[in-house]
Structure 1
Amino acid sequence: MRRNKQEPSIKIISHRGASGHRPEHTLGSYELGARVGGDFIEIDLVATKDGRLVARHEPEIGGTTDVADHPEFADRRTTRVIDGEEHTGWFTEDFTLDELKTLRTTERIPDIRPDNTSHDGEYEIPTLEEIIALAKRLTAELGRPIGIYPETKHPEYHVSIGLDLEPPLIATLREHGLTGPEPEVPVFLQSFEADSLKKLAETELPLVFLMGTEEHWQRYLTPEGLAEVATFAHAIGPNKNSIIGRDDNGDLTEPTTLVDDAHEAGLLVHPYTFRSENHFLPAGLRSGDDAGAYGGFAAEYELFFQAGVDGVFSDHSRHAFLAREIYMQEG
């Protein structure tokens, strides 16, 4: 199922927006990601106390907002167990949307992305509705589809606290004309939890099963496991190391058969996450010792494009776009 390289079908999924250049999950990050070449705005959704869906990588927001600087919220700092892991901080489910809107976002990894800190305090936490409106506006302005790619974040945890993510997600998508086989803008729905995807099946939208590299994911990475995934999803979002791994020295190894096996099962393949800084690149593609400097990112994209992936989650949408342009031209 190897594609004709002249066909521009490799999708660029702006991971939390252009998060290599702006604080993640902000309207500024989302807009920049689209303007520099991204095809989809990738969104992690969590719930507020009053059941609204907002974009944060995790329910805990101490590391991505200025909530610690708000004395009125000091008493809401607490500890929660999410998916078996203990987290201490401030959690979206303890705030109403109006309260969250008084906060401002900050860069999550300032040591690696110090330039992004110049935008600390610039953006609010966005709602799903605001992001949909942005995608529609950008689609009109740019003259090409800008889709959305929402993830239900820790859905089982949200069920346990009485804030199920799927009903408000479905209702919001339907209200804005984004359900059914031909939504107003393209939509993929993603989750690490199969039960969440099954709840979203009524939208008639393509569903993406995210998969990690830990032991409990291994059964899904086999032809038999992928056949099972194909009964409830249309695509997989594997950790990119499942496609091309790294050896003990941090260098890339030979590709696995995962892409071909997934295609054989009828599944698209959108691996995560491509980042251009030395800190994240394979050892052989780094350019010096500065963790935040850019290395040979284009070579990494090319190897995955050659492996046949259908899309890439990228923190640097412009870099992914340029790498795709080069790859298509060379074909």
Structure 2
Amino acid sequence: MRRMLMAAMLLLVPVAALGQESPVPRFDPKTPPIVIGHRGASGYRPEHTLASYELAIAQGADFIEPDLVLTKDNVFVARHENDITGTTDVAAHPEFAVRKAVKTIDGERHEGWFTEDFTLAELKTLRAKERLPQLRPDNAKYDGKFEVPTLAEVIALAKRATEEMGRTIGIYPETKHPSYFASIGLPMEKKLAAQLKAAGWSKPGDPVFIQSFEVNNLKALRKLTGLRLIQLMAPEGGPADNAAPSYAEMATPAGLKQIAAYAYGIGPGLDMIKKGDAPPSTLVQDAHAAGLRVHPWTFRAENYFLIPSFHTKVQQVTPGFVVMPKPSDHGRLQDEIVLYLQLGLDGFFTDFPDIGVAARKAAAAQ
């Protein structure tokens, strides 16, 4: 996701006019792809904290992404999951020891502490911590410094930054486990649409995208708001609401045509576009042919996440002595992003917005 908010509008061109398979240019600097700060600048600060979002904005992100879950008193907060065991210091709070529980969420067993068992006031006594400390030890230095933010706080930050920076900063919320929350009496759709409308956002041109891995959640939102909707897809599995057999089937031309009836675009995992060093799939072209935008997730700098050919190389220090790269070492993320941008992306999620902005500039110069 550059008009005022830099939203990349696709120019659909007949295939025959281009003389190639793709109905859109591989990269068009006149409609540059949007850079989405994945959970903020989560490569540099603990994810889903105001500090992470603020840094993402400072680094040039066009949108910041809050994953949304609900509290016991029905308030949206930004956490990767409703299970907050790994992203907060809740385990260090003896007063909440009795809240530890075992739950089945979207078919998976979880043991820990969950947002729906805490009021907002209680959550505000907790502090965020780094979710991937082994890969991001520098982020762990910020453990204990930041609160769990509410959606209202994220909206206020985006609006304040828009005024101060002279460019539009949008938000890209994801509804996490909407079917599960509905099953415990905390449906998300009406509440989210109403809160965004109260913020002045309800039309397709407003600086908001709403994303979900579920289907019926998005279809319900389609009836409640004019905001742009993004169908998330993963390389494996299928929607938790069982609205489709699998994400693989949704990614076929027929499946994409069905998605286009209710969504503005898709958010596929990177492997669905190009797995490792293998040739790319036709997903981007197929999505464009169906009239859908493509915003894949997630570009990360660590070797652990990069395509092998972009890993940090073995360093020869002296004859007979080499330094082997570690999974946490940063490889050539900018080059990887440029490679994908040349396939025609309309936007992308990254934990490193500064590198994402640099890659977009590099792709435009080619």
What TM-score results when the alignment is normalised by the length of structure 1? 0.96
**How much does 1:159 deviate?**
0.7
Distance 1:173 1:283 in 2: 41
**How much does 1:218 deviate?**
1.1
Instruction: Note if 1:242 corresponds to 2:242.
Output: no
Using a 3 Å threshold, how does the CA distance of structure 1 residues 286 and 4 change in structure 2: closer, same or farther?
closer
Match of 2:214 among 193, 207, 218: 193
Equivalent residue pairs, number:
323
Distance 2:194 2:161 in 1: 22
Question: Match of 1:305, as an amino acid?
Answer: L
Match of 1:134 among 134, 157, 163: 157
Q: Aligned ranges for residues 72-87 of structure 1 at < 5 Å?
A: 72-87=95-110
Distance 1:181 1:191 in 2: 17
Instruction: Note if 1:219 corresponds to 2:244.
Output: no
Question: Match of 1:32, as an amino acid?
Answer: L
* Higher Cα radius of gyration: 2
CA-to-aligned-CA distance 1:157-178 (integer Å, 9 cap, x gap): 0011111111221111111111
CA-to-aligned-CA distance 1:235-260 (integer Å, 9 cap, x gap): 000011111112xxxxx111111101
Instruction: Note if 1:308 corresponds to 2:344.
Output: yes
Question: Match of 1:206, as an amino acid?
Answer: R
**How much does 1:5 deviate?**
2.7
Partner in structure 2 of residue 70 of structure 1: 93
Distance 1:124 1:132 in 2: 16
Instruction: Note if 1:173 corresponds to 2:196.
Output: yes
CA root-mean-square deviation: 1.1
Distance 1:151 1:53 in 2: 11
Match of 1:285 among 307, 310, 322: 310
Gaps of 5+ in 1: 247-251
**How much does 1:181 deviate?**
3.5
Question: Match of 1:208, as an amino acid?
Answer: I
CA-to-aligned-CA distance 1:258-294 (integer Å, 9 cap, x gap): 1011001000000001001111111111114222221
Distance 1:196 1:210 in 2: 12
Instruction: Note if 1:296 corresponds to 2:326.
Output: no
Distance 2:48 2:349 in 1: 14
CA contact (8 A) 1:45 1:53 kept: yes
Question: Match of 1:123, as an amino acid?
Answer: F
Partner in structure 1 of residue 321 of structure 2: none
**How much does 1:9 deviate?**
2.2
Using a 3 Å threshold, how does the CA distance of structure 1 residues 263 and 104 change in structure 2: closer, same or farther?
same
Partner in structure 2 of residue 203 of structure 1: 225
Question: Match of 2:198, as an amino acid?
Answer: E
Partner in structure 2 of residue 255 of structure 1: 280
Distance 1:130 1:83 in 2: 28
Question: Match of 2:220, as an amino acid?
Answer: K
Distance 2:273 2:164 in 1: 36
Partner in structure 2 of residue 249 of structure 1: none
Identical counterparts, % of pairs? 52
CA-to-aligned-CA distance 1:17-62 (integer Å, 9 cap, x gap): 0000000000000110111011101110000000000000000001
CA contact (8 A) 1:52 1:168 kept: no
CA contact (8 A) 2:27 2:363 kept: no
What TM-score results when the alignment is normalised by the length of structure 2? 0.87
**How much does 1:4 deviate?**
5.2
Match of 1:93 among 84, 93, 116: 116
SS of the residue corresponding to residue 363 of structure 2 reads helix
Partner in structure 2 of residue 45 of structure 1: 68
Distance 2:337 2:284 in 1: 15
